[in-house]
Structure formats: structure tokens, C-alpha cells
Structure 1
Amino acid sequence: MERLLLTLLVFALFALGVYGMWRGWRRQARAQSVRIPPFPQRPADPGEPELEAAGLYAATTNAGHWQQRVVTRGAGLRGRATLRLYPGGVEVDRAGAPGFWIPRESITDVTTAKGMAGKVMGTASLLVFTWRVGDVELDTGFRGDDLGVYPQWINKVKGGAQV
């Protein structure tokens, strides 16, 4: 009987912890939805993609603060994605989550990084786009399956954006 009570207590503490994390995530999403405008949607006809890369969408964070994950509007969910560069911007097409569009004129920088929002690698294996939506500057990280295409992405994006 004593073991059963101890097991129930541990389970209750675990459930309370999960509930607290869920509440915190929702509270953060509500607060961010006021500060961060909705992400742009992909235009109906963006043209032909100049570059395409498959990989992992790591996160979107507040620019310069690699641990401050943006969780509003589904942006906090890490998962498989395809990145496409069009003449007008970059499409982040996420599997099982809402994708979004980064207009080329809103991109302020593109670089590589070692980590973002809990995803840390030993090398600079994240492609990071710094961009503006409204008055807010964000960093969006993507880890491509082929890291060798990063210089091509950086050159193409910086060549067409006001960086």
C-alpha cells in the first residue's frame, strides 16, 4: 500500500509539472501574439524557386537572443521543413505545422550559427535569417540536410536583399 501511494504521488507531481509547462507555453504564446504581428503568408504565385533545401526548422527567436523562442502562431514547433528561395522572399514550408513567408525586403542578415532555442551543435550548422515583421526583429533558424549549400544561400540572399 505504501508503494502504491508513493507511485501515485510521483505520478501526480509529474502531471503537475506537465500542466505547468503547458500553461507557461500558452501564456507565452498569448503575450507574444500581442507583440509580434502575424507572419506573412506565401504569395499565390511567387515564381520559380532559385534555391531549395530540405532539413529541420529549428526555431524562430527574438533577434540576438538565441534562447528566447517565439511560440506564437505555431512558430515554436521544431520539425522537418523545406526552405525555398524565390525572387520575392524565402518560404519556410514546415511539415505538420503552419509555414510562413519571409519577404526579401524584410531580411536584414543571413548567417550561420552554432545553436538556437535549445538546439546546439558543435559547428555552425544552422542557417539563420534575421528579418523584420512589423517593428519586431526575429531570427529564424534552419538546419539543412546538406550544409554545403549554405554559402550559396548566403550569397544569393545577401545579393538580393538590403543587408
Structure 2
Amino acid sequence: MRLMRALLTLIVVGLLVLSLLAMLRGWRYRARRQAAVMPGFFAQPTSIGADLLPPLKGVYVGTVDARDWHDRIAVGDIGHRAEATARLTAEGLHVERVGASPLWIPAQTFRGARSARGLAGKAMGIKGVLVLTWALDENWLLDTGFRGDDRSVYPEWEAALQTMTPNHDPERNSAR
């Protein structure tokens, strides 16, 4: 009986290890595939300017292809979830991530902002994630998600981000 229990335990542990290795291999393959076709991310400028809104502390959820909220971008460490602080300036959005590289999104690349239920396979309740849609280039439209500690400021952030998008039309955005 003990031998059978030990054998079953080893089989389960082995299957778990194989599953984890397969997931890691898949993540690395995704990163290589995306790196081959994606341009590089924007370098942070030396000065990002004054904050338009008070900084928002929370969690950087991730960045995904805007056409598929499950298709997480895995290039570099951009796909890693992390505690972060978001700062919005006239020049763009700066996301300072703990334990990961900062993310800089220039204002001229903004395409829209909204509150969403989730992003990158992470469901966080109704309007739990602040999502910024932006263009890395003409072929890559991305969504970056941020879950703020204080979600009551989302409407203020959405409005500020929306006014910074090219071709901002307040009537169209209020109809959403």
C-alpha cells in the first residue's frame, strides 16, 4: 500500500513538473515569436514633465494585443505583473514597476481609455481595470491595464487620457 501511494505521488509530482516546464516553454516561444515581429518599446525621456493628476498606485496588470484581451505581450519583462505607480503627464504615461523595467507610453500614441472587467486573462470585477489603448506603430495596437488601489479616480483618469487621444471627440466618447 505504501509503495503504491509513493508511486502515485511521484507520478503526480512528475506531471506537475512537466506541466510547468511546458508552460515556461510556451511563454518563451511567445516572447521569441513576438520579438521577431514587434518593434521595440519606447525609451523613457530624461524628463517626463509635471503630473496632470495625482500618481495612481496599484498593480500593472499587463499589456495585450488590443484585438485579443487574452494575447499577452511577453517581450522582455513587459508581460510580468507588478506593483506599480502610474503617472500621467502632458508627454505621456509613465508606469514605474517594482522589480521590472518602467513602461513609457508617449501621449501621441494614445488611442483611447476605458474601465474594463479584466485584461490578459485576469478578471477583476466590474470596472476593475483602467485600460489604455495605444499604438506601438501602425501595425501594433496595444491595451495596457492598470488596477489602481483607489478605483474611484478612474473616471478622472479616463477623461484625462481620452482628451489626449488624437481626434478626440467628446460626443462620441460620451456615447460609449
In structure 2, C-alpha distance between the alignment counterparts of 1:67 and 1:113, rounded to whole Å = 13
1:143-154 alignment runs, 5 A limit: 143-154=147-158
Corresponding residue to 2:122 among 78, 94, 119: 119
Structure 2 residue runs without a partner (length 5+): 169-176
Please state if 1:50 is matched with 2:45: no
Q: Is the CA contact (8 Å cut-off) linking 1:129 and 1:141 kept in structure 2?
A: yes
Whether the aligned pair in 1 keeps the contact of 2:113 and 2:161 (CA below 8 Å) is yes
How big is each residue's C-alpha offset from its partner over 1:94-128, in whole Å with a ceiling of 9 and x where there is no partner?
11111111110001111111111121123112110
Instruction: Report % sequence identity.
Output: 40
Q: TM-score, normalised by structure 2?
A: 0.87
Stretches of structure 1 lacking an aligned partner (at least 5 in a row)? none
Residue in 2 aligned with 1:102? Answer: 105
Matched, 1:29 2:27: no
What RMSD, in angstroms, separates the aligned Cα atoms of the two structures? 1.3
- In 2, the alpha carbon distance for the partners of 1:155 and 1:10 equals 51
Choose 1 or 2 for highest CA Rg: 2
Deviates more, 1:34-43 or 1:86-95: 34-43
**Match of 2:133?**
130
TM-score (norm 1): 0.94
Aligned length: 163
